[in-house]
């Protein structure tokens, strides 16, 4: 066979494998012409860990190669490579020596190419460089582009700033409703900011507020001081992205944001941003769904919003970098829907003649919903904490909330929420407890952490208030942190339990491979990636008393606790973004919780990114175990 024919065959082989499908044929032929064929027998070493790196890169034409790490405690399998995969790419980390030992698991045929020729390909084709970066990290190197969460422009920051300034209209506390209506009309604005004598924003009057007050019989000459009955307006700094403003608007139930120079309420207003303003600039606005929940009269109407929310979330998950934002926005929308269901249930009870007891109450999300990381709307875990005075009978409180919980539970199902047998249901009386009872429960979990109880109770440590008295939820959080501080052994046991579920090693021929070489055609994303990440983040969050229950917030707090390990925590955050993206997409497409994924359904690039995530997770788990063993040992 002549040389030209061989060159075309090698180029054809390369073109069928990632990342060479991105390379033009002329460059593939040039690369193929520079290569050599090398044969290795079974159990032959191709290179050894620590050996000086040779100036070539290899592609496996046939056979299987295992990569091993030599450690003081023995040899560990780190990767398994097959047809079309690359060997010797550690050089792109500027590693002068081989990071692992490569050993054949059978007869292997390699195509070996000069490193300089491969460098030329990498420099010319960003997709190739992106693929290589994915091998070493869960963070792709390619630019994210200029698209927003759904493939739309995120809003020109300059245009956002200019529009926010144009929309700003400021009044003082003596301005009448007639004058406010005139200002709103003249400025084509949705709201005016009420400021005090020090020019600090102390209130917000929207067009809807004006209409409502007139409908309630207010005189057109009455002052705007009625707006001050509510809390001060929500503030934000200028210069954020449209996506960030979307999220803050959703958190503020769709009411406009007052922009101040430093984002705090104690400084003069410099702009105003509303949901409609963002729609004008970005083309689509999920905040409008949050607003729309307030106009829904039944669970069926809310169910249609749930379907639209799922579609928006799925569209937002085209990039892993958007997973964190997408999860938080999905959490806000979920909270708005469930909150409206509670309001409807309460109104139904009042219409039936029941009397609302005088009790403080805080409705809680636990687990994934509590962390704002549940995008599939599957198994939304809900609980309630309440507190009442001696003058109120506990039986009356229980009767009221039992009725609301029963109606809420049926409303959730009518609205399209889906539950498995493991879901924490609000219809269960154990999920509706007083503040004192919840504190006792957390105290028992922390002081008596039996193995089964430790596993079953961990998701309860991830809670947030989505409806009602948020201060009551924070009192419970204070009690939880106090119990943890009094029982340091609990953190050691919690950290040790993280190591019970390790990430897999690699993918090979459409199968997932664990560190023992065992293979499966199904990846359990929850046990292999989600649980190890959230469990490790949780133990650091509890140790540092991080008030935000989200995994990203807890990992950021852990980086402040251990600044020398910041890179490990940042890599873990990237790994979690990848995991959230894969789970969210799988669940929303299949209509389930996204736990199981077939490796054969993943592209080569997605497999590489997940392999990088697995390595980051393993590093986090090892750090978690080492740190908390040392802390408890002191």
Cβ 473 vs Cβ 463: under 8 Å: yes
Q: What's the CATH fold of domain 286-434?
A: Beta Polymerase; domain 2 (3.30.460)
Q: pLDDT tier at 126 (50, 70, 90 boundaries)? A: confident
Rg over alpha carbons for the chain, rounded to the nearest Å, is 29
Confidence class for position 557, pLDDT limits 50, 70, 90: very high
Q: Where are the beta strands (DSSP E) in 427-550?
A: 432-434, 463-468, 506-508, 511-513, 519-520, 523-524
Q: What is the mean pLDDT of residues 6-34?
A: 91
**150 has pLDDT over 70:** no
DSSP alpha helices (H): ranges in 79-156? 115-124, 126-136
Backbone angles phi, psi at 292, to 5 degrees: -65, -25
Alpha-carbon distance of 62 to 58, in angstroms, equals 12
Which range is least confidently modeled, 213-217, 314-318, 430-434? 213-217
Q: Sign of torsion, CA 290 291 292 297?
A: positive
Q: What confidence category does residue 422 fall into, taking pLDDT thresholds of 50, 70 and 90?
A: confident
Structure tokens at 276: 């409609």
Percent of the residues in the chain that have a pLDDT greater than 90, as a whole number:
50
Structure tokens given for 562: 């251990």
Structure tokens at 537: 């983040």
**What one-character DSSP code corresponds to residue 527?**
I
Tell me the mean pLDDT in the region 23-48.
Answer: 93
Residue 149 pLDDT: 38
Q: What is the pLDDT of residue 147?
A: 39
CA 121 to CA 55: how far, in whole Å? 15
pLDDT bin (cut points 50, 70, 90) of residue 96 is confident
Q: Are 77 and 515 in contact (CB under 8 A)?
A: yes
Cis peptide before 19 (omega within 30 of 0): yes
What pLDDT sits at residue 448? 86
In order of 67, 482, 498, the CA distances from 534 in angstroms are 28, 21, 9
Q: Name the burial class of residue 419, with classes exposed (0-12), middle (13-18) and buried (19+) by CB atoms within 10 angstroms of its CB.
A: middle
Fold of 3-136: Jelly Rolls (2.60.120)
- 169-186 per-position pLDDT tens digit: 888 888 888 888 888 888
Per-domain boundaries in the chain: 3-136, 157-283, 286-434, 487-634
Residue 165: pLDDT band (50, 70, 90) is: confident
Mean pLDDT over 545-568 rounds to: 96
Residue 104 contacts residue 44 (beta carbons within 8 Å)? yes
Q: Enter the tokens of residue 632.
A: 């408890």
Of residues 536, 492, 525, the one with CA closest to residue 594: 525
From 307, 293, 391, 389, select the one nearest 344 (Cα to Cα): 293
What are 512's strand-pairing partners? 507, 520
Beta carbons within 8 Å of 633's beta carbon, 6+ residues apart: none
pLDDT of residue 607: 87
Count other C-beta atoms under 10 Å from residue 14's C-beta. Answer: 22
Q: Which of 228, 227, 248 is nearest to 237 (CA)?
A: 248
- The strand pairing partners of 60, in sequence order, are 110
Query: DSSP secondary structure string, 248-305?
Result: HHHHTTTPPEEEETTSSTTS-EEEEE-HHHHHHHHS--THHHHHHHTT--SHHHHHHH
3-class DSSP state for residue 581? helix
Residue 152 has what pLDDT? 35
Confidence at residue 335, expressed as pLDDT on a 0 to 100 scale:
95
Reply yes or no on whether the pLDDT at 213 is more than 90: no
Average pLDDT over residues 131-155: 50
Q: Provide the pLDDT for residue 633.
A: 56
* Average predicted confidence (pLDDT) for the chain: 87
- What DSSP element (H or E) covers 620? helix 604-633
Q: Where are the beta strands (DSSP E) in 302-391?
A: 359-366, 381-388
pLDDT at 331 over 60: yes
- Which helix (DSSP H) or strand (DSSP E) does residue 40 occupy? strand 36-40
pLDDT for the residue numbered 219: 61
- Same topology between domain 3-136 and domain 487-634: no
Reported confidence tier of residue 274, pLDDT bands at 50, 70, 90: confident
Averaged pLDDT, 390-403:
94
**The predicted structure's pLDDT at residue 229:** 47
Q: Which CATH superfamily is domain 157-283 in?
A: CBS-domain (3.10.580.10)
Residue that the structure tokens 């995991």 belong to? 579
The DSSP output letter for 188 is T
Q: What is the pLDDT of residue 163?
A: 72
Q: Which of 6-20, 21-35, 59-73, 284-298 has the lowest mean pLDDT?
A: 284-298
What average pLDDT does this structure show over 298-309?
Answer: 90
**Residue keyed to tokens 């083309």:** 283
Distance CA(58)–CA(17), nearest Å, equals 13
Token digits for 231?
Answer: 């809390």
> Quick one: the chain helix, strand, coil %, rounded to 5?
55, 15, 30
Secondary structure of residue 564 in the 3-state scheme: helix
CATH-assigned architecture of domain 487-634: Up-down Bundle (1.20)
Residue 64 CA to residue 463 CA, distance in Å, equals 46
CA distance 217 to 197: 29
Question: For position 522, what pLDDT does the model report?
Answer: 92
Percent over 70 (pLDDT), the chain: 91
CA distances from residue 43 to 86, 104, 265, 356 in whole angstroms, order as listed? 19, 5, 68, 75
- H or E segment to which residue 324 belongs: helix 323-351
Cα 46 to Cα 64: distance, rounded to the nearest angstrom: 12
Residue 370 has pLDDT above 50, yes or no: yes
Higher pLDDT, 243 or 395: 395
Give the number of residues written for the chain: 634
pLDDT value at residue 225 = 52
Least confident of 71-80, 335-344, 431-440: 71-80
Mean pLDDT score, 253-281: 85
pLDDT at 360 over 80: yes
The structure's pTM equals 0.74
Q: What distance in Å separates the CA atoms of residue 355 and residue 197, rounded to the nearest whole number?
A: 43
pLDDT of residue 218: 63
């Amino acid at each position: 066979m002549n040389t030209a024919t061989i060159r075309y065959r090698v180029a054809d082989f390369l073109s069928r494998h990632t990342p060479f499908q991105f390379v033009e044929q002329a460059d593939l032929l040039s690369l193929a012409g520079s290569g050599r064929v090398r044969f290795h027998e079974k159990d032959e070493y191709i290179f050894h860990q620590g050996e000086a790196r040779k100036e070539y890169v290899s592609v496996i034409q046939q056979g299987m190669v295992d990569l091993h790490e030599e450690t003081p405690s023995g040899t560990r399998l780190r990767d398994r490579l097959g047809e079309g995969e690359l060997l010797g790419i550690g050089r792109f980390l500027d590693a002068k020596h081989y990071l692992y030992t490569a050993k054949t698991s059978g007869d292997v045929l390699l195509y070996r190419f000069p490193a300089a020729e491969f460098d030329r390909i990498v420099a010319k084709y960003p997709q190739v460089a992106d693929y290589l970066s994915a091998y070493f990290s869960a963070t792709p190197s390619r630019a994210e582009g200029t698209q927003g969460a759904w493939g739309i422009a995120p809003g020109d920051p300059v245009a956002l700033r200019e529009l926010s300034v144009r929309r700003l209209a400021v009044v003082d506390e003596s301005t009448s409703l007639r004058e406010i209506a005139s200002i709103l009309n003249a400025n084509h604005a949705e709201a005016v900011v009420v400021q005090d004598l020090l020019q600090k924003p102390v209130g917000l009057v929207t067009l809807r507020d004006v209409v409502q007050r007139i409908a309630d019989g207010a005189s057109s000459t009455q002052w705007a001081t009625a707006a001050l009955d509510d809390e001060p307006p929500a503030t934000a700094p200028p210069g954020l992205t449209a996506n960030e403003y979307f999220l803050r608007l959703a958190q503020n139930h769709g009411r406009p944001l007052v922009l101040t120079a430093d984002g705090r309420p104690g400084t003069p207003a410099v702009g105003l941003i509303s949901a409609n303003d963002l729609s004008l600039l970005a083309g689509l606005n999920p905040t409008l769904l949050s607003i729309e929940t307030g106009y829904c009269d039944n669970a069926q109407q809310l169910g249609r919003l749930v379907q639209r929310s799922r579609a928006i979330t799925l569209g937002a998950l085209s990039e892993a970098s958007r997973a964190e934002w997408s999860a938080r926005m999905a959490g806000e929308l979920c909270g708005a829907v469930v909150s409206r269901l509670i309001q409807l249930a309460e109104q139904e009870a009042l219409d039936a003649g029941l009397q609302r007891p005088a009790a403080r109450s805080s409705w809680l999300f636990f687990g994934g919903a509590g962390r704002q990381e549940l995008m599939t709307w599957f198994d939304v875990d809900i609980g309630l904490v309440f507190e009442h005075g001696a003058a109120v009978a506990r039986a009356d409180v229980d009767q009221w909330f039992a009725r609301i919980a029963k109606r809420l539970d049926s409303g959730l199902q009518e609205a399209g929420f889906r539950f498995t047998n493991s879901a924490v249901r609000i219809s269960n009386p154990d999920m509706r407890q007083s503040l004192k009872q919840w504190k006792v429960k957390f105290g028992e979990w922390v002081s008596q952490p039996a193995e089964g109880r430790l596993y079953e109770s961990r998701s309860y440590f991830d809670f947030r208030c989505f409806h009602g008295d948020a201060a009551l939820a924070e009192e419970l959080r204070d009690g939880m942190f106090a119990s943890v501080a009094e029982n340091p052994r609990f953190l050691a046991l919690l950290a040790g339990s993280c190591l019970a579920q390790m990430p897999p090693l690699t993918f090979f021929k459409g199968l997932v491979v664990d560190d023992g070489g065992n293979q499966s055609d199904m990846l359990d994303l929850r046990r292999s990636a989600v649980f190890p990440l959230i469990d490790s983040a949780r133990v650091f969050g509890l140790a540092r008393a991080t008030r935000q229950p989200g995994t990203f917030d807890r990992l950021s707090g852990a980086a402040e606790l251990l600044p020398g390990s910041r890179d490990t925590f940042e890599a873990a955050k990237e790994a979690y973004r990848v995991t959230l993206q894969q789970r969210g997409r799988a669940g929303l497409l299949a209509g389930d919780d996204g736990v199981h994924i077939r490796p054969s359904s993943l592209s080569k690039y997605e497999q590489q990114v997940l392999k990088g995530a697995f390595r980051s997770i393993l590093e986090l788990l090892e750090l978690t175990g080492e740190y908390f063993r040392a802390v408890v040992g002191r």
